[in-house]
Structure 1
């Protein structure tokens, strides 16, 4: 019988992750050209918001559907939607056409990202999964290095439309590999597929939550009200899901304390990564008065050590165990952020590069470990659903933290009397959050996820 070619599938998974990672960063280089060409003042934020919203909304739904209809089919649908949205973005002649195309592209990305996690969980055992997951996560580090360079080169030689078109051949290659190399066992279809009102409550809650997060920095009161409304809708949805025979979220897994803690780690560590990447270049430009190029290159060590930490996370997990390794990761990152919060503004460029390297390693290891240990609580029946939920936590963490830290940076309401710069207050805020996270991780019971998973089931 024909079997899945895991080597080719690793290539497909990596390319799929790489293309979504590049898409998340390369558009930044073309924003000014797009706004100038299409002539919409509000286009800048909407270019990113529409993609982010649609991706976040689609992620848990695609994860759930994959457990019913099969990962291969849903992965292919996600790739096709991403391909369609990408082509339409490239041919966009108006802002409204671009918005709609970005929505389609984001929905496709919402089908791709959880499937990459789920496929790794299916194709590799826990001892190998860390290495493969680390290799896959390195795509984000590589994308942060090459996307601005590729984007700048394209804009210099061609038009902004080609920022999108370069993704087309990569997606076609992934589709071909998946079709030929992946042989999936027929999923054990559950009697129900989730009702319309379940999906409606989930989408409405997430939409309100994300809208509140986006409005939080500019319209504080309105954003807070909408955010709270979203939380209430999601709480109501969660209570209803607990009564459903066929929930569309992994409710039984979410009730496990250890799994919930790991998803909090995913949320906060990914959020801290965004805060670091945004405010370190700002520090270098405002205090050291160096060029934007030098500021961007300061993230290079972070990206390289992110890749290194991700790749060796599996070996570190086997050596230190889940609890101790998480303590070391959170503690190491805490020391890094705490140091950045008190270092003088004129700290040397090389010193900042050292901190960039250390934080890249700790965060890269933390991102990978949080995902693979949380995924260990999934069963074969809900692996895609759990992977979708973890991916959603990752997206929400980045979205919430970049907005929340932006408010801290602008208002500096906590540290105004100390007359510290905005980035100092940002890193101090992250440090306080990591102190709380270290406390939670340190009081985490050492439990075998497979044993606890059996108790729940």
Structure 2
């Protein structure tokens, strides 16, 4: 049994690393991709949003099906589809076909990442889960270190197609390990799959598509995008009210009612948005303000990645010793201070200062994210752990999608206001600081009981 757990942990880590590196390495090859297809830069967002949108929409459905027919089947389906999509992306002969294959990739990833959380919850008890989650989260930190250097090397020495091909062996290896090693506890297949249930799934997919589209629309038409987003939020609220009357809702509504679940899901949503903003705009700062090379710009995130891994790994032990509430408060205060400093940092600030700020930020975010994830997932039951994990992953993806677009609007506004990129950066980090301040306010003692 212990041997099987070790193999499964290797498979889970490999699957997480595979999706993590896919999310970051494409950035390094974007310019070459557009050149090879003679494409215009105005469609650059499609390369990323097609994958992100497909993943967000597929996540809740595949997670729910995992609770119905088994985590192993859905996980293998996600791995197979992701690997197939990856291979097809590498073989793409047109920009349109690449976007279509990115959608296939995204659907596959929707069946991978949330199920890795569910598998950890299934294989390890609550005491072990914190350390294992922290270890698994290190895949994101390592991917963020390797991807810029590996992507640059592949594009320089081969072609952009190889940024996709390198993931194929990972997908095949993880598939074989899970297929032969993982033996899931047999559960009866629930039969309540009728047209009424299918209608719930279709409505929810349309709502997600509407909201994600409105987020992208904000970059070109802020007012129309904002109105469409508010309209989508209203429809989503109505959908949740209807879900409460369903015998078999596709959303984990019973878990919603449990203490602090939605609060920590909101923290996951916002902290991931702040994290992706930091990862995008710090390297840009290094290139535009310090005029350093892209390699040094990527390495500016090295301290953040290392201490993110450290914070994630030791979060459970620190929370057990000091208490989760105290660690969360201290970590959020640290992140708030870092973003506050960066919102006023002069262009003359040295590279070393950015490295130090990145390191402390990574430590704080690693602690907050892992504790929030464990706390939210602890509300799940054995029957709905995949659905709950999928919902958490969905909120994580939506947080990244929404915040990176919103931060881009602030950056563009600052740049347009006085034609200086520094003003754009200051607005980005000031807004991020306000977000962190909002989270900090939400978990003040009067807002949350001891947990």
TM-score by shorter chain over 0.5: yes
* TM superposition shift of 1:114: 0.2
2 CA distance for matches of 1:3 and 1:247? 36
SS in 1 for 2:349: coil
Aligned alpha-carbon RMSD (Å):
2.0
Structure 1 stretches of 5 or more lacking a match? 449-457
Work out whether residues 285 and 295 of structure 1, in 8 Å CA contact, stay in contact via their aligned partners in 2: yes
2 CA distance for matches of 1:413 and 1:37? 30
2 CA distance for matches of 1:59 and 1:313? 26
1:393 aligned partner? 395
1 CA distance for matches of 2:188 and 2:314? 34
Question: TM-score normalised to the size of structure 2?
Answer: 0.95
Given candidates 252, 256, 260, the residue that maps to 1:254 is 256
2:100 aligned partner? 100
Question: TM-score normalised to the size of structure 1?
Answer: 0.93
1:170 aligned partner? 170
* TM superposition shift of 1:30: 1.4
1:38 aligned partner? 37
2:187 aligned partner? 187
2:111 aligned partner? 111
1:372 aligned partner? 374
* TM superposition shift of 1:47: 1.1
Deviating runs (4+, > 4 A) in structure 1? 413-416
1:446 aligned partner? 449
- Deviation digits for residues 379-419 of structure 1 (CA, Å, limit 9, x no counterpart): 00110000000001100111111111111111139998x99
Work out whether residues 325 and 450 of structure 2, in 8 Å CA contact, stay in contact via their aligned partners in 1: no
* TM superposition shift of 1:158: 1.7
Given candidates 290, 293, 310, the residue that maps to 2:292 is 290
* TM superposition shift of 1:329: 1.5
Given candidates 330, 353, 356, the residue that maps to 1:351 is 353
* TM superposition shift of 1:447: 4.9
* TM superposition shift of 1:288: 2.4
* TM superposition shift of 1:7: 0.5
* TM superposition shift of 1:171: 0.6
* TM superposition shift of 1:3: 8.5
SS in 2 for 1:288: coil
SS in 2 for 1:195: helix
* TM superposition shift of 1:227: 1.4
The within-5 A match list for 1:43-442 is 43-193=43-193, 195-412=197-414, 421-442=423-444
SS in 2 for 1:342: coil
Work out whether residues 411 and 427 of structure 2, in 8 Å CA contact, stay in contact via their aligned partners in 1: yes
1:19 aligned partner? 18
- Deviation digits for residues 84-138 of structure 1 (CA, Å, limit 9, x no counterpart): 1111111111122111111111000010010011001111111111111011111
2 CA distance for matches of 1:385 and 1:188? 17
Work out whether residues 4 and 183 of structure 1, in 8 Å CA contact, stay in contact via their aligned partners in 2: no
Work out whether residues 145 and 298 of structure 2, in 8 Å CA contact, stay in contact via their aligned partners in 1: no
**Cα 1:185/1:422, change in 2 over 3 Å:** same
1 CA distance for matches of 2:396 and 2:3? 29
Work out whether residues 322 and 373 of structure 1, in 8 Å CA contact, stay in contact via their aligned partners in 2: no
Which has the higher mean CA deviation after the structures are superposed, 354-363 or 420-429?
420-429
* TM superposition shift of 1:197: 1.2
1:454 aligned partner? none
2 CA distance for matches of 1:225 and 1:25? 31
1 CA distance for matches of 2:190 and 2:322? 38
Work out whether residues 51 and 103 of structure 1, in 8 Å CA contact, stay in contact via their aligned partners in 2: yes
